[in-house]
Amino acid sequence: MNKNNSVPGRRKAAIQRFLIFIKGKPLKTESRPEDSSPSKQPTARLPRDYAERGINEIRHILQNIRSYAPTRISLQNEIHKLGSAFSRATEVKIDFNYGNWPKTISENIDSLYLSFIQESLTNALKHGHATSISISCLINNNSYFMSVTDNGRGATLPIKKGIGITALEDVVSLYGGSVIIKSDRAGFSIQVSIPRESLTASSGA
C-alpha cells in the first residue's frame, strides 16, 4: 500500500499543509464588529500603523523562536516562550494553565498545537483587539485539550470559516478530534481536542 495513502501518511500530509498555510496567513474568521463602548476599546496602545505591520512582525518573531529553538525542550516550555514573547511585544496579558499536560506528545502533534497557539494569539490581537488571553492545556476526558480564550470583541456566530480554520479542522478530524469555537460579549474562544487513543493506536502520530 502506498505510504501516503495510509492513515499516518494522510495525517502527516494534512499537518504539513496546515503548517505551510499558516506561515503566511492567519486562521481567518468573519470580521468582528466594531464596538464603540469605552469598556471594549483596546488598551494595548498600539499605533494604528503598527497594528497592521506589527501582526506580521510578531508572527515572524514567534516563528523565529520556534525555528531556532535549541535541542528539544518540553512542549510546556515552548508554549510559554511563544506566549511570553507575544506578551512582551504587544503588552497583552497572557495566562497559562498547563494542568496535567505531558512534556511532549509527538513531533507532529506538538507542532500542530504550537502553530495553533501562534495563530490564535495573533488573531486575538488583530481581529479581537484583546488585552488578555488565556491558554489552557489539559488532559480532559482522555483527550489532549487546548484552548485559547481572549477578552476581545468576539465574533458573530455561526463563524464564517476561512481556509485556515477549515485546514485545522481537517487535520484534527483525522485523529478523531474536534475544533470548537465559542464567542460572546465576553470574548472569543477556540478549542482543539484530540483523543489520546487515536495517537497510541498508530505509530504515525
**Percent of the chain residues topping a pLDDT of 70:** 62
- Residue 183 pLDDT more than 60? yes
- Residue 180 pLDDT more than 90? yes
Q: Which residue has the higher pLDDT, 205 or 30?
A: 205
Residue 183 belongs to domain spanning: 3-29+46-200
Q: Which residue has the higher pLDDT, 147 or 204?
A: 147
- Residue 85 pLDDT more than 60? yes
Mean pLDDT (whole number) for 80-106: 90
Q: Looking at 5-9, 157-161, 177-181, 184-188, which range is the least confident one? A: 5-9
In a domain, 34, yes or no: no
User: What is the model's pLDDT at position 75?
Assistant: 86
DSSP the chain: --GGGSHHHHHHHHHHHHHHHHTTS----PPPPP--SGGGS--S---HHHHHHHHHHHHHHHHHHHHT--S---HHHHHHHHHHHHHHHH--EEEEE-TT--S---HHHHHHHHHHHHHHHHHHHHTT--SEEEEEEEEETTEEEEEEEE-S---PSSP---HHHHHHHHHHHHTT-EEEEEEETTEEEEEEEEEHHHHHT-TT-
In a domain, 167, yes or no: yes
Confidence of residue 90 (pLDDT cuts 50, 70, 90): confident
In a domain, 41, yes or no: no
Domains: count for the chain = 1
**CATH number of the domain within which 102 lies:** 3.30.565.10
